[in-house]
Chains A and B, each alone.
Chain A
Amino acid sequence: NAGVTQTPKFQVLKTGQSMTLQCAQDMNHNSMYWYRQDPGMGLRLIYYSASEGTTDKGEVPNGYNVSRLNKREFSLRLESAAPSQTSVYFCASSEVQGRINQPQHFGDGTRLSIL
């Protein structure tokens, strides 16, 4: 099925370890996003990429870096994981058609625990 694929689905890290979360979409969308979801806080935007070759900070970028590897792939890296980064991470993608912003499509998430 077409959509947004995130790997891994689950991960446990120790404080200070590094990790890269992978995201790939096969819908030929220009824009991609990384969110984190925490209880009672909804989804908060970490970073986004409006198009291939560009990335920008969202609401909560501290402690993260991103790479838009190509049009399909957008990775999120934790250089030195901290317990506060324990969360569920979602990748999403979207497209503009006829100047209308189309809804974002979401992956199933990566559940990350940092001990």
Chain B
Amino acid sequence: AQSVTQPDIHITVSEGASLELRCNYSYGATPYLFWYVQSPGQGLQLLLKYFSGDTLVQGIKGFEAEFKRSQSSFNLRKPSVHWSDAAEYFCAVGADTGFQKLVFGTGTRLLVSP
């Protein structure tokens, strides 16, 4: 069975600074990997996804993530954080099945300081 670990519960970053959120997964085959963002009181919005091919994937809002098979990681990055990026971020891994069951990490809450 697949699993996801997000080791950081909270991260505080200054506005304009770079950001990296960590995600480690466990899955026996090639995983489908996702990052979602959740603003307070809202549902989850897809930031980016990795299915295959280029290991550096670009997403919305200036985010990118890199799939590293050797490290079982899929870390999320942004070069310059904006105050509006403050939210909770979830990494998820999906199995290669016909309907895509997802397993989510416990989330990382990003705080942006002025």
Contact = CB atoms under 8 A, between A and B. Distances in A.
A42 interface: yes
A69 interface: no
Given A40-B106, A101-B94, A109 B99 contact: no
A100 B97 CA distance: 9
Interface string B25-55: 0000000101010000111111001010000
Q: How large is the interface on A (under 10, 10 to 19, 20 to 34, 35 or more residues)?
A: 20 to 34
A45 interface: yes
A108 interface: yes
B46 A42 contact: no
Contacts, number: 64
B43 A90 contact: yes
A42 B42 contact: no
A101 B101 CA distance: 10
B90 A42 contact: yes
B104 interface: yes
A25 interface: no
15 contacts: A31-B99, A31-B100, A40-B106, A42-B4, A42-B90, A42-B104, A43-B44, A43-B90, A45-B103, A48-B101, A58-B101, A101-B51, A101-B97, A109-B42, A109-B43
Interface of B: 4, 9, 32, 34, 36, 41-46, 49, 51, 90, 94, 96-107
